[in-house]
Structure 1
Amino acid sequence: MTTFTAWKFDTPDGARAAETALKAASSDGLVTILDHAVVEWRDGEPKPDLHHGHEDKWRGTGWGAFWGLLFGGLFFVPLLGAAAGAAVGAISKAVAAVGIDEAQLQTIREQVTPGTSLLCAVTTDGDLDRLGERFHGLHSTLVATNLTDAERSTLMETFG
């Protein structure tokens, strides 16, 4: 099963630490990373920085377009009021294939603010119990996933 997750961290460097743990878990066979992206929003900066993982070179262009659409629409297009809601609605149609709905997009937009960071990952074959051990203590909040409610509950218990 392919899983999309978005984890928010209360520091601009938190997602980078989680990215390191995710890559180590992948190297140890605990998960297969199809692709990932890190959004870092430093205090005082008008917009966040996006770093795309490029795990699969063959499909990297496709994932780059996906991350660009997702985060470009959420953070880089200057939007106010109703225009922001309309843009989130348009983005949700474009990324629906990954299982991200409009409410999750809105949550990402609201949660990621200056001084925070976000790790988004598209993965398969994850061993949640062992992955949870790797992520323990990183102080993250799951803000979006395409998992079922039962799977999400397991994920939250595992990752604390």
Structure 2
Amino acid sequence: MSNLIVVGFKDEFTADKALQELRELQKEHLVDLEDAAIVIRNKEGKIRIKQTQELAIDGALSGGFWGLLFGFIFFNPLLGWTVGVLAGAVSGALTDIGIDDNFIRDLGNTIAPSTSAIFVLVRRATADKVLTDLSKFEGKVLKTSLSNEDEAKLQIALTK
């Protein structure tokens, strides 16, 4: 079962840096992320959400492949490809996996202007090594599905 962790940062750029660090840690097999997203609230208060899984694009690519294949079978590859791309993009856009978009948007509206937050669903992590690497970002735990004890450890590690 995955754990949801949301950490807020003092500026608009640190969440991106933290996500890059998590991706590096994932390459080293120290953390296994199911999903991640970043919320940035600019100085005017406008929210921008960056998803790590672009389902519409993935769906369009997959749909285009299958549409082209069926198009060759039925002697109209261009029509098959077009229908496949459109169907794949629509189905990808309507699919919601991982962290709920409404939850991201609602919590993003609560952070202060000129700040950012990272939302991660973590399947597995080597906690001591991951926390050591993430401590340099000085974040504040906003929400988790961790136990109170583990959440407290995470907050202590992020404020070192």
TM-score norm. by structure 2 comes to 0.67
Q: C-alpha offsets along residues 106-149 of structure 1, whole Å, 9 cap, x if unaligned?
A: xx643x12100000000111111000121121110011000111
Amino acid in structure 1 at the alignment position of 2:154: L
Q: Percent identity?
A: 19
In our comparison, the structure showing a higher alpha carbon Rg is 2
Q: Does 1:63 align with 2:97?
A: yes
Which residue does the alignment assign to 1:24? 24
Q: Does 1:134 align with 2:104?
A: no
Q: Secondary structure at the match of 1:62?
A: coil
- Gap change, CA 1:137 and 1:18, over 3 Å in 2: same
Structure number with higher relative contact order (C-alpha < 8 Å, ≥ 6 residues apart): 1
Give the alignment of 1:1-160 within 5 angstroms: 1-44=1-44, 46-54=45-53, 61-63=95-97, 66-72=99-105, 74=106, 109-110=109-110, 112-159=111-158, 160=160
TM-score norm. by structure 1 comes to 0.67
Matches of 2:144 and 2:109, distance apart in 1: 14
Q: How far off its partner does 1:155 sit?
A: 2.2
Q: How far off its partner does 1:55 sit?
A: 8.4
Matches of 1:67 and 1:39, distance apart in 2: 13
What is the aligned residue count? 123
Matches of 1:139 and 1:158, distance apart in 2: 8
Structure 2 alignment gaps of length 5 or more: 60-91
Amino acid in structure 1 at the alignment position of 2:22: L
Matches of 1:17 and 1:26, distance apart in 2: 14
Amino acid in structure 1 at the alignment position of 2:104: F
Amino acid in structure 2 at the alignment position of 1:149: N
Amino acid in structure 2 at the alignment position of 1:4: L
Would you say the 8 A contact 2:141–2:154 is kept in 1? Answer: no
Matches of 2:119 and 2:137, distance apart in 1: 15
Would you say the 8 A contact 2:47–2:109 is kept in 1? Answer: no
